[in-house]
Structure 1
Amino acid sequence: MVNCVLCSEEGGTLIWRGDDCRVVLVDDPDLPGFCRVIWNRHVAEMTQLSYGERDLLMHLVFAVEGAVRAVMRPNKINLAALGNQVPHIHWHVIPRFEDDAFFPGSAWSNRLRDTPDAILKIRRQQALELPQAIRAAIATLS
């Protein structure tokens, strides 16, 4: 689709690509480990997918969530599929920590604090393990 950022760009650093979906790591300095699962073809709503496509997408979202939980060890994982600003199906998989900049609000809330640099450095280092962990989790789906 014309002017769709997820049709013209990866949407982050590519971790895995299949025929229908891709998984990317988002470069968010406040939320290391933030991933997206993106449907490759331009589709705006989940109900525009077949039941099999929906199953595939959600299996990928859950595989990514499990890998992010195992690697990042967050207090909580946020899963979100909004599409208000980018009406192209994509799921956000966001590790959340009680000391992150926005907790307990959403990742798009106003900043409540600055996470200490030393903690962010550790989390960024952990996030380097995500590509391998996510690919391994996805490999178990087939």
Structure 2
Amino acid sequence: MIEIETLNSSTFYLNKDQTHPGRCILAFNAHKNELFQLSTDELHLFMDDVALAAKAIQDAFQPQKINYAIYGDIVSHLHFHIVPKYINGADWGDAFTNNPEIKKELLESQYNELIRKIKVQLNQEGVAK
């Protein structure tokens, strides 16, 4: 993962696998494993961060849908997968494949361009530094 920005309660990362262009992960900053372990205030802040991150992805890449997932079987730290989906793209109409056999990795300059597009959107929301 490549760090994009620290938000109110979480850190926003670009996923190295870009099978779904714009795929990101949002990790809660404090160590928690489950949503129910969050206080009401923490939960509200985290869900606000999820919505903000998803909006930035939507505005930057214009996917037809965004999928959200919380797993944690392997990485036992609370995080959301935020996965843009595109008609005729990978996994359209199905749940996204979290760990595909063949991953789409990019050049550093391509990752930087994706991050730049997301930060432009965060900046418009008054978030990016």
CA-based RMSD: 2.8
Residue 75 of structure 2, aligned match among 86, 110, 116: 86
Quickly say closer, same or farther: Cα 1:81–1:109, change in 2 above 3 A: closer
Q: Which AA in structure 2 matches 1:51?
A: T
Percent sequence identity over matched residues? 25
The answer as to whether partners of 1:34 and 1:94 remain within 8 angstroms in 2 is yes
Residue 65 of structure 1, aligned match among 54, 59, 78: 54
Larger Rg: 1
Which stretch of structure 1 is more off in the superposition, 129-138 or 73-82? Answer: 129-138
Q: TM-score, normalised by structure 1?
A: 0.71
Q: Which AA in structure 2 matches 1:134?
A: L
Q: How many pairs are equivalent?
A: 119
Q: Measure, in 2, the Cα distance between the counterparts of 1:109 and 1:13.
A: 17
Higher relative contact order (CA 8 A, sep 6+): 2
The residue number in structure 1 matching 2:26 is 37
Deviations 1:14-43 (A, max 9, x none): 111247410011111311200111012221
Q: Measure, in 2, the Cα distance between the counterparts of 1:124 and 1:106.
A: 24
5+ residue gaps in structure 1? 1-11, 112-122
For residue 48 of structure 1, report the CA deviation from its aligned partner.
0.7
Q: TM-score, normalised by structure 2?
A: 0.77
Quickly say closer, same or farther: Cα 1:125–1:19, change in 2 above 3 A: closer
The answer as to whether partners of 1:16 and 1:135 remain within 8 angstroms in 2 is no
The residue number in structure 1 matching 2:43 is 54
The answer as to whether partners of 2:9 and 2:49 remain within 8 angstroms in 1 is no
For residue 80 of structure 1, report the CA deviation from its aligned partner.
1.2
5+ residue gaps in structure 2? 101-109
* Residues 129-140 of structure 1: pairs in structure 2 closer than 5 A: 129-137=117-125, 139=127
